[in-house]
Amino acid sequence: MSQSVQIKNALISVYYKDNLEPIILELNRLGVEIYSTGGTETFIRNLGVNVVPVEDLTSYPSILGGRVKTLHPKVFGGILARRSFDGDEQQLAQYEIPEIDLVIVDLYPFEETVKSGAAQEDVIEKIDIGGISLIRAAAKNFKDVVIVASKNDYGTLEEILKTQGGATTLDQRRSFAQKAFNISSHYDSAIFQYFNQEEPLPVFKQSIQSSQVLRYGENPHQGGVFYGDLDAMFTKLHGKELSYNNLVDVDAAVALIDEFTEPTVAILKHTNACGIASRSSIKEAWIDALACDPVSAFGGVIIANDEIDADTATEISNIFYEVLIAPAYTDEAVRILQSKKNRIILVRQPVALPTKQFKTLLNGVIEQDKDAVIEGPAQMTPVTNRKPTEHELHDLFFANKVVKHTKSNTIVFAKNGQLMASGVGQTSRVDSLKQAVIKAESFGFDLHGAVMASDAFFPFPDCAELAAEAGITAILQPGGSINDKLSVEMCNEKNISMVTTGVRHFKH
């Protein structure tokens, strides 16, 4: 649809004036009458372009410290008047209101002010009233009015002005209106979130402005989009774009590695750790993490919490992996890692992560707090005759961190700061334990002296019995089963220790 409208009058009032000059000069060349306020008016005048103060149009000064400047019928009437309605046109003539065909306006930096830690009174002053009203009015009347609500669209407007002589099509105006409503709704959501922190209303609102279209979703027949700013969190040094499944695994990898402070490397496959070890150096951590399950490590996501050096990079390059993440790399390490064509190399940046999790479910959305709790030795209550040694407590803490980030039902075996095996995502906890035993044996691990962690309690003593038979000497579980006593008695019979934490870590 064309329905061309010629821009004759424009209202311009912006907070950010970056790249505004070419627009002003082009409007001036086209003979467009420009109305403006405050700092924008001064900016335009300093360019040598004639500008009409809004006060001259409304016959009212800017009042209340600038809170009220454009909120007037002579401004909003000129924006909202329907050019095809005779009655609207007659009233414009009656009250001497000019048609305003172009509105360029942005909003006070509310989100930036909140992030800066400013006092509440400063935040409140950044709640835009006139600007948001102008945006909504112009966007509502897109059939007759062009609304530019972001400096990001100045280039598009400038091109239209230059190539179309100040005329716009209906499709162009509709596109500008779509972007404007996106800006206004995001702005309102940010304000609501600010006010909804104490005694929050039970509503779900999310607005994320940046996005990245993915090659596809979980499978090639599914579309996929990531909403967020990946560039703020990662610097990509090499490789193809991250896929949907890559991102899901990367998210799990980041959550897991953040539990550890000593040099640690984790290898994940389908969001579960198939290898993880903490050592005195990243190279040693990598070697022992890979030893956990070198078969599953193929095509996995690798994450480290310390710099990758050349020696470590050489070792890592011996296997195929999808993604490698670390906080830093030496120059030589980067050169070595970039020799493999499609492998994705990411530098993780220190970005604050959300504290809430949500996903679509049935005909709505389910939300929860992130599982930010992890129980160390101080929260482990011995319930058996034999108490865990200091070394076992350290390994139980390690195993508990892994359990927290592994699909339920899960059992984790660990020894000397290394994952030995895990049973993941089974419908029976006994099956998870048996799976872990088989995996440990298949890779030549001796479970004698190892510890075991479970994400939930044992309903029967069979897990304790099987663990003892495999060589496990200490067990961690939340406790809380009516049959806890039976598991404790089994541990006492087998002379192994058990601790309870009182905290369950289901991960579905």
The residues assigned a catalytic role are: 140, 270
- Interatomic CA distance for residues 143 and 139, integer angstroms: 9
Q: Which two tokens stand for residue 219?
A: 């499978």
Distance of alpha carbon 100 from alpha carbon 7, whole angstroms: 8
- What is the β-pairing status of strands 272-278 and 234-238? unpaired
Count of C-beta atoms within a 10 Å radius of residue 398: 26
Instruction: Say how far apart CA 270 and CA 186 lie, in whole Å.
Output: 33
Q: The sheet that has 419-423: what strands, in order across it?
A: 381-382, 497-500, 474-477, 451-454, 411-414, 419-423
**Cα–Cα distances in angstroms (integers) from residue 39 to residues 12, 17, 71, in the given order:** 11, 9, 17
- At residue 413, the 3 state secondary structure works out as strand
Q: Which runs of E-coded beta strand occur in 263-342? A: 264-269, 272-278, 300-304, 321-326
Tell me how far apart the alpha carbons of residues 303 and 329 are, in angstroms, rounded to a whole number.
12
Contacts 24+ apart (CB under 8 A), 484-492: 484/383, 484/457, 484/458, 486/460, 486/461, 487/458, 487/460, 487/461, 487/463, 488/383, 488/384, 489/461, 490/461, 490/464, 490/465, 491/384, 491/386, 491/464, 492/384, 492/385, 492/386
Partners of residue 326 on adjacent β-strands: 347
Distances in whole angstroms, Cα of residue 484 to Cα of each of 182, 273, 458:
55, 28, 7
Query: Any idea which residue has 């996903």 for tokens?
Result: 359
Give phi and psi for 7, each to the nearest 5.
-80, 120
User: Roughly what angle, to the nearest 10 degrees, separates helices 429-442 and 462-470?
Assistant: 10
Number of neighbours of residue 393 by Cβ within 10 angstroms: 21
Task: Kindly report the three-state secondary structure assignment for every residue of 34-72.
Answer: EEECHHHHHHHHHCCCCCEEHHHHHCCCCEHHHCECCCC
First CA to last CA distance, the chain: 50
Please name every residue paired with 372 in a beta bridge, in sequence order, or none if there are none: none
Element containing residue 292 per DSSP (H, E)? helix 282-292
Q: Is the C-alpha dihedral spanning 225, 231, 233, 236 positive or negative? A: positive
- Cβ atoms 301, 443 nearer than 8 A: no
| Residue 440: burial class (beta carbons within 10 Å; 0-12, 13-18, 19+) | buried
Cβ atoms of 319 and 292 closer than 8 Å: no
